[in-house]
Amino acid sequence: MANVVVVGSQWGDEGKGKIVDWLSERADVVVRFQGGHNAGHTLVVDGKTYKLSLLPSGVVREGKLSIIGNGVVFDPHAFVAELGKLKALGVSITPDCLKIAENTALILSLHRELDGYREDAASNSGTKIGTTRRGIGPAYEDKVGRRAIRVMDLADLETLPSKVDRLLTHHNALRRGLGHDEVTHEAIMQELTSVADQILPYMDRVWRVLDDRRRAGERILFEGAQGTLLDIDHGTYPFVTSSNTVAGQAAAGSGVGPGAIDYVLGITKAYTTRVGEGPFPTEQTGEVGDFLGTRGREFGVVTGRKRRCGWFDAVLVRQAVAVNGIKGIALTKLDVLDGLDEIKVCTGYRLDGETIDYLPASQGAQARVEPIYETLQGWQDTTAGARSWNELPAQAVKYVRHIEELIGAPVALLSTSPERDDTILVTDPFQD
């Protein structure tokens, strides 16, 4: 028995949704532990596509328990909308199979608006982050500022008004300062009370549920959102999201001890992408970038933005292996590289005349590093849809082996198309 954490090892969109869906067959419980509906996780099952933002990717399988942990920031209206979309696709979700932690902080319309005001103002000064404008950052600020409204507050209509007042004292001061209209107490109360009945049936004491399930010997799969380079501490600050995305957060963001985690699986794209602003040493803006973007269909699930594309950066992934304690990786989208004559891989950086093997922490240095590349021969045969190792062209196998060596972690799973079953299992993370 083992519990597995899945994390993105790059800048998000590595294919976490597909792999979590695939792995969830082997799990009993799937838990989201950070982020919110800024995530966009795509699952393709028998030709049918599901796009999930807030719900754990286990919801499409029957008989699994899905959990939204306390580390998530939870937009109740986005939640209701996502439930509706999934129901329309034939997925049945009830309070028996989905639980939301009672101590989860809420995202309100004022968070979304503040996210937008700041991004708009920053656009004029050239300092925008390129957020998803979902209110993620402002909601985490209120949580840490100890003035957030939490899921459990929806059940206590006596104390809710005073909590809303406290929140509005802060937000209206900010809004006035930024030149925007104030929000009324009545508007926020209406926003919350109108949705409470649809949320409260799912509320639970999640730490207890997880403790009971663990004691009963069930397997838990923790589903990370975003990626290591978007982590608030370990990422390309300030061009990051506002949560810890690394594996350590799985424990704090759901209410289990660190000892509950047996295996960390890093989801790793066979090249690199990033959405939004910030440094990207191996970015390719020309022909190669277009090839990867077109072949890889690199458009954001949440915002529809075009993703920036570039070569595989082994420096970043090796660093992600260290900060997450990654035991093995799921290498995704290898098929996107099919047909290239040559493939480059970044093995180090040059910074101010020196060679380094890590991403420096400072914003200035991150913008200045220049990639050092190795060039590998590509392959002309297809890997798309391969379901066993022997179906892979020899050069593709060489590429995979070389990546393992450079990042210091083995490939546990290899994904060769968006479809659930186009996946090669090397090591089962639950059996490790």
The one among 8, 76, 266, 293 contacting ligand IMO by CB under 6 A: 8
Give phi and psi for 205, each to the nearest 5: -90, 85
Q: Rule CB under 6 A: is residue 231 a binding residue for ligand GDP?
A: no
Radius of gyration of the chain (CA): 22
Assess 250 for contact with ligand IMO (CB under 6 A): no
User: Under the criterion CB under 5 A, does residue 142 sit at the interface with Mg ion?
Assistant: no
Residue 10 or 347 with smaller CB distance to ligand GDP: 10
String of contacts with ligand GDP for each residue 10-49, x by CB under 6 A:
--xxxxxxx---------------------xxx-x-----
Least Cα distance to 242 among 417, 21, 6, 36 occurs for 36
Sequence letter at residue 274 = R
Judge whether 222 and 66 are in contact, CB under 8 Å. Answer: no
Buried b / exposed e over 45-60, threshold 16 CB at 10 Å, is: beeeebebbbbbbbbb
Which listed range, 74-82, 184-192, 311-319, 409-417, lies at the site for ligand GDP (CB under 6 A)? 409-417
Distances, alpha carbon 37 to alpha carbons 190, 220, 308, 324, 387, in Å: 22, 22, 21, 23, 32
CB of 423 closer than 8 Å to CB of 414:
yes
Half-sphere exposure of residue 353: CA atoms within 13 angstroms, side-chain side: 0
> What track of x and - describes contact with ligand IMO for positions 30 through 59 (by CB under 6 A)?
--------xxxx------------------
Residue 275 lies near ligand IMO (rule: CB under 6 A): yes
Tracing tokens 């022997």 back to the chain, one arrives at 390
Supply the angle between the helices 314-324 and 394-407 in degrees, to the nearest 10: 50
CA 321 to chain centre: 16
One-letter amino acid at 55 equals L
Q: Which of ligand IMO, Mg ion, ligand GDP, none is residue 60 near (CB under 5 to 8 Å by kind)?
A: none
The one among 132, 284, 366, 415 contacting ligand GDP by CB under 6 A: 415
Question: Which among 54-62, 128-136, 159-167, 319-327 is the span making contact with ligand IMO, rule CB under 6 A?
Answer: 128-136
Residue 369, SS3? coil
Q: Which of 37, 64, 111, 143 is catalytic?
A: 143
CA distance 23 to 432: 13
Which residue of the set 41, 234, 269, 327 is catalytic? Answer: 41
Task: For strands 272-274 and 263-269, give the pairing.
Answer: unpaired
Q: Residues 36, 40, 289, 348: which binds Mg ion (CB under 5 A)? A: 40
CB of 81 to Mg ion, least distance (A): 18
Instruction: Give the 3-state secondary structure of residue 276.
Output: coil
Q: Which is nearer to ligand GDP, 203 or 334 (CB)?
A: 334
**In a 3-state reduction of DSSP, which class is residue 351?**
strand
Encoded tokens for 370: 């220049």
CB-facing half-sphere around the CA of 222: CA atoms within 13 A: 37
Comparing CB distances to Mg ion, the nearer of 13 and 191 is 13
And the tokens for 390? 């022997």
For the bound state, the minimum distance from the C-beta of residue 39 to Mg ion, rounded and expressed in Å, comes to 6
* Only segment of 120-128, 225-233, 397-405, 414-422 that touches ligand IMO (CB under 6 A): 225-233
Nearer to ligand GDP, 50 or 349 (CB): 50
> Is 378 flagged in the annotation as binding?
no
Would you count residue 301 as binding ligand GDP (CB under 6 A)? yes
128 is in an annotated binding site: no
The verdict on whether 234 is a catalytic residue reads no
Place of tokens 């066979």: 270
Q: Which stretch binds ligand IMO (CB under 6 A): 89-97, 179-187, 236-244, 368-376?
A: 236-244
334 lies in the site for ligand IMO, by CB under 6 A: no
Q: Is 301 annotated as a binding residue?
A: yes
Q: Is 143 a catalytic residue?
A: yes
DSSP 152: G
Given the complex with ligand IMO, which of 104 and 241 has the nearer CB atom? 241
The answer to whether the annotation marks 307 as part of a ligand binding site is yes
Name the CA dihedral angle for 305, 311, 314, 320, rounded to a multiple of 10 degrees.
0
C-alpha 81/C-alpha 321 separation (Å) is 36
The interface partner of residue 416, options being Mg ion, ligand GDP, ligand IMO, none and the CB cut-off 5 to 8 Å by kind, is: ligand GDP
By CB under 6 A, tell whether 97 contacts ligand GDP.
no
Query: Which stretches of the chain bind ligand GDP, using CB under 6 A?
Result: 8, 12-18, 40-42, 44, 297, 301, 332-333, 335-336, 415-418
User: Which residue ranges make up the annotated binding site for substrate?
Assistant: 301-307
- List the catalytic residues: 13, 41, 143
User: Which residue ranges make up the annotated binding site?
Assistant: 12-18, 38-42, 132, 146, 226, 241, 301-307, 333-335, 415-417
User: Which residue ranges make up the annotated binding site for IMP?
Assistant: 13-16, 38-41, 132, 146, 226, 241, 305
